[in-house]
């Protein structure tokens, strides 16, 4: 009779060992799913923040380019003697505006350094155009 009880205890022990392994496996599985979900969520948030930043920076700079172009066109209307110079600057502003929009439509990390250089070039062009406008405005 001792053998029967030992066999029953052994079966319970085996069932507990199997259940324990099964539980540990399920816990690993749940942990992996949670990790994957967390990584995916982190990537989505990262992409969204870069998109939001790009839209904000791009809109601000394109607005400045458009405003500067408007001032340049006003100068052209008031002072026809600078028509050729203002036409060249206007073309440069429009070209930079197109380049800026195209740059912000690109995606990927490889474009990030290019974004920075385009932003700097646009800022420099705005500054130079405003200096030109101021110089001719004061000469009037």
In the chain, where are the structural domains located? 2-139
Which residues of the chain, if any, have pLDDT below 50? 1
Supply the pLDDT for residue 6: 56
Question: Exposed/middle/buried for 10, CB within 10 Å: 0-12, 13-18, 19+?
Answer: exposed
| Terminal-residue alpha carbon distance, the chain | 118
Distances in Å between the Cα of 81 and the Cα atoms of 34, 58, 78, 85, 138 are: 69, 33, 9, 9, 14
Q: Please identify which residue in the block is written with the tokens 């053998």.
A: 3
């Amino acid at each position: 009779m001792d053998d029967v009880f030992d066999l029953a205890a052994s079966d319970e022990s085996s069932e507990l060992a199997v259940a324990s392994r099964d539980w540990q496996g399920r816990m690993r599985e749940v942990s992996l799913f949670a990790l994957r979900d967390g990584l995916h969520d982190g990537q989505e948030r990262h992409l969204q923040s870069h998109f939001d930043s790009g839209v904000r920076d791009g809109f601000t700079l394109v607005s400045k380019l458009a405003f500067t172009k408007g001032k340049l066109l006003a100068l052209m209307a008031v002072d026809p003697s600078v028509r050729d110079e203002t036409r060249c600057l206007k073309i440069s502003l429009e070209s930079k505006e197109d380049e800026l929009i195209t740059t912000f439509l690109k995606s990927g990390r490889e474009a990030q350094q290019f974004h920075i250089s385009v932003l700097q070039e646009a800022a420099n062009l705005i500054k130079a155009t405003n200096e030109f406008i101021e110089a001719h405005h004061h000469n009037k």
